[in-house]
């Protein structure tokens, strides 16, 4: 589903990533585990096609959905519209069904600023899955949540992945999260960072 072969990535004169090559098959869930500052978000932005300034190539056929480290929601649109505006043609009823599925069905008319961080994360998750992506990319989706909310999000994500079966690539600095969700864990370490 995705084939990554990056040979290097620098910010100015500082090389952040070295050679990083791996593939994720359809339906597979792969975690990239590494310490803060190692280059995880940089790697995901390259794979997502947001950052094109790198050496190497990334091949990803099919549709992609991205869940960022901080939820990137439209502040002046309701929870429901945050989903339908991202997926033109998606019926309101389908968007509402996704909100129900992540447990915020009663918040459809609220703006993101009226939701807790945990609820914003749920909305970001609902928006990602609403497009039935072939590839799901997540950047530390459970970071800075209290333990109970993180646990709820983790099992919610587990269920959504089991139901929709996208190829999933997510980065985290938490070993337990990686072990729980992923069928394969890649370690990102060093400077410039490479896989181990
Ligand atoms: P992680 O997600 O693993 O915490 P990042 O990919 O965010 O790490 O950052 C990796 C390194 O690259 C850090 O040293 C960070 O300061 C640096 N960095 C990230 N983004 C930029 C940028 N836009 N310009 C310059 N340096 C950056
Ligand atoms: Mg990061």
pLDDT digits (tens, 9 = 90+) for 20-69: 999 999 999 999 999 999 999 999 999 999 999 999 999 988 899 999 88
Q: How far apart are CA 138 and CA 124, in angstroms?
A: 10
Predicted TM-score (pTM) of the model is 0.93
Q: Is the CB of 36 under 6 A from ligand 1?
A: yes
Name residues of the chain where pLDDT drops below 70: none
Cα of 49 vs centre of ligand 1, distance in Å, is: 16
Ligand 1 pocket member 41 (CB < 6 A)? yes
pLDDT at residue number 177:
92
Residue nearest (by alpha carbon) to ligand 1 atom 14: 37
**For residue 13, how far is its CA from the centre of ligand 1 (angstroms)?**
13
Q: Are 24 and 2 in contact (CB under 8 A)?
A: yes
Retrieve residue 76's tokens: 């002046």
């Amino acid at each position: 589903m995705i084939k990554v072969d990056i040979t290097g990535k620098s910010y100015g004169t500082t090389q952040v990533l070295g050679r990083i090559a791996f593939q994720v098959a359809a339906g597979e869930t792969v975690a990239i585990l590494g310490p803060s500052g190692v280059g995880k978000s940089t790697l995901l932005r390259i794979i997502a096609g947001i950052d094109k300034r790198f050496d190497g190539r990334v091949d990803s056929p099919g549709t992609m959905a991205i869940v960022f480290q901080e939820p990137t929601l439209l502040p002046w649109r309701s929870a429901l519209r945050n989903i339908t505006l991202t997926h033109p043609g998606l019926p309101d009823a389908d968007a509402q069904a996704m909100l129900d599925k992540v447990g915020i069905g009663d918040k459809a008319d609220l703006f993101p600023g009226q939701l807790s961080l945990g609820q914003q994360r749920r909305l970001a998750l609902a928006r990602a899955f609403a497009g039935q992506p072939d590839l799901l990319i997540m950047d530390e989706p459970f970071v800075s949540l209290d333990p109970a909310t993180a646990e709820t999000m983790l099992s919610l994500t587990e269920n959504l992945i089991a139901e929709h079966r996208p190829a999933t690539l997510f980065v985290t600095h938490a070993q337990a999260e990686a072990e729980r969700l992923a069928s394969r864990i890649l370690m990102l370490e060093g400077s410039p960072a490479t896989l181990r």
